[in-house]
Amino acid sequence: MKANFIDEHLMEQIESEKNLALLDPETRALVLICRDEGLRISEALILKTDCLKKTPSGRWALVHYKSKDKSFRAIPASRVVVDAVREQHGRVREQFGDACRWLFPKVSGNPDGKYPMPYGTADTRFDAWLQRIRLIDSNSDPATVNWHQFRHTLGTRMANAGVSGRTIREILGHTSWEMQEHYSRIADETLRREYEEKYEVRFNLKGEAVKVRADADLSGVEWLAEKIGRRLHAVAGGWCGRHISRPCPKTAADGCYFCQDFQSDRQFLPIHHDTLARTRELQADATAAGRSRAAEVNERLAAAVEHVITRITDQEHDELSPAPNDAGASLGEERTADAG
């Protein structure tokens, strides 16, 4: 069986903010959840309004019912999904109060919010949207995709980004190793044996299959989020913590110091100190030469690098928040130390 992922030419159209804005809010939330979390549409439609949980360290986890083996699972939730779920919950509360337990309730004939949205409604809306945005393939021919392909696409993107098969399998909740092999051809039998021993169905002393409860321990989410965030797409001085489903929007390496997805720790301090020294040198040279724009750009970069160093050394915190002030400014117009 071939993994039926959506190619990137089509995903570029689907993920366009302009096109996503044409979706009704409920269906847009479903698209983002299926894209970022790899849920089956049947699983997304029965999410509860309290599906977001906080881990002990403060990460958000998405708790959902896995229909394949009738268990509840917790997986890392992207910031986009957290926002979408919160907004959708707000809409449900506005319409039904706190009586409705479904995040996506049936839209008609459901005055008490007793029933979840049926698949037919979501599918009809999704297909109508695909026609509206005129989805086309690389040959400019009309194209179509289905909900389940988002799941395969997430698995493929993770494999292409260097995420281990072990992590992919846990994120997608596969119950067999064979399905994982559609995404990444892992020949390491040691890793395969280690994974199967750890994650295959377990049994208690009574011989009963152990299922994950709805109030399951969220500690596994920390491991998964770490493996996704610190994937092989490392950047100079740290890692890219951007969710795997979305490529980096930046073109300049120095932009990482201004990005809220940038992560680093003590092992990269020599790189940060070197970058700071070179940036200050470039700033001084630009100031002496009267090139005010270059001096200003390097001053902002130096401030951002100093912010990273301070966070690491003073707070020992490896998930760095954005640099202060105009940290989102583009550095593409001038040469900086980190771009060289």
pLDDT tens sequence across 160-192? 777 777 777 777 876 554 554 544 443 334 344
Distance CA 329, CA 340 (A): 18
Could you tell me the two tokens for 149?
């392909």
Right CATH for 1-150 from 3.40.50.300, 1.10.443.10, 3.40.605.10, 1.10.357.10: 1.10.443.10
Q: Hey, what amino acid is at 283?
A: Q
Could you tell me the two tokens for 168?
């992919």
| Higher pLDDT, residue 317 or 123 | 123
pLDDT-derived band of residue 203, with 50, 70 and 90 as boundaries? Answer: very low
Distance CA 302, CA 187 (A): 45
For residue 232, the tally of other CB atoms under 10 A from its CB is: 11
pLDDT tens per residue, range 138-168: 889 999 999 999 998 888 888 777 777 777 7
Q: What is the dihedral of CA 221, 35, 164, 72, to 10 degrees?
A: 40
Helix (H, G, I), strand (E, B) or coil at 258: helix
Please report the pLDDT score of residue 8 as a whole number. Answer: 87
Beta strands in 86-228 (DSSP E): none
Distance CA 278, CA 115 (A): 61
Please give the helix or strand (H or E) that residue 192 lies within, else none.
Answer: helix 189-199
In this structure, what are the phi and psi dihedrals at residue 131, rounded to the nearest 5 degrees? -70, -35
pLDDT-derived band of residue 225, with 50, 70 and 90 as boundaries? Answer: low
Q: 305 with 272: CB under 8 angstroms?
A: yes
Please report the pLDDT score of residue 231 as a whole number. Answer: 47
Report the pLDDT averaged over residues 232-260: 64
pLDDT value at 196 more than 90? no
In this structure, what are the phi and psi dihedrals at residue 24, rounded to the nearest 5 degrees? -65, 155
pLDDT value at 44 more than 90? yes
Q: Is the pTM of this model over 0.85?
A: no
pLDDT-derived band of residue 106, with 50, 70 and 90 as boundaries? Answer: very high
pLDDT-derived band of residue 123, with 50, 70 and 90 as boundaries? Answer: very high
Domains of the chain: which residue ranges? 1-150, 162-202, 229-339
Distance CA 63, CA 49 (A): 10
Strands 234-235 and 71-76: unpaired
